Amino acid sequence: MSKLLIATHNKAKFEEIKHFLGLLLPQAQIISLSDLNITYEPDETGKTFFDNAKIKAEYYGKISLLPTLADDGGLVIDSLGGEPGVKSNRWPGHRGSDKELITYCMDRMKKIEKQNRTARFETCLYFYDHLNKRSTFASGAVEGIISELSTKNFVLGYPYRSVFIVDGFNKFYTDLSEEEHEKINHRLKALNQIAQKLKTWYN
């Protein structure tokens, strides 16, 4: 496997995955959807992160004929019955801006007591190789709580990290050092599992 397509239009997510894969699979050439001039996207009709990751990986894998890795995940808040979950980007009922999503989250959590503000980031990665008929998946999560106020420090494309305080660090996700971030990153946990599987298949 010389090329690996990352099936996301989110630039921040692509750069994070590319960075981690550079450490885990340095021999792979990481390709973006924009490299292939692909601007369209499938309907994400799944009820779970796994469902949507699989939909995206198979959709772009069949179009590109490249081994493809798709990610789906988001914020899961216990006191809101798991919301926003698979609707993390469309929680207000449409695809919201980072600022809008942060504001909406704060509004929904206004009356929730501190002890009931537990939440987690979950992710599911799905790998699909159309030509070789191979597929695998992995998941990861990081636990924390939703803060009562958002931090002014935020990363474009990751709005909820500005309202999420990570268990064990008492810091906003966005305020973690690079070393701390890599210790708890839920996507890196899943990528590690995927990378090990790909090494057995392609090396």
Q: Give the catalytic positions in this structure.
A: 72
CA distances from 80 to 44, 52, 89, 118 (A): 22, 21, 16, 10
Answer for the pair 185, 127: CB distance below 8 angstroms, yes or no.
no
Note the helical H segments in the chain: 11-24, 49-64, 98-108, 178-184, 186-202
Cα–Cα distance for residue pair 151/42, rounded to 1 Å: 33
DSSP class of 170: T
Run of H or E residues at 146: strand 134-146
Do 33 and 56 touch, CB atoms closer than 8 A? no
What letter does residue 34 receive in the DSSP assignment? G
Specify the 3-state DSSP secondary structure of 147.
coil
Nearest CA to 23 among 134, 201, 185?
185
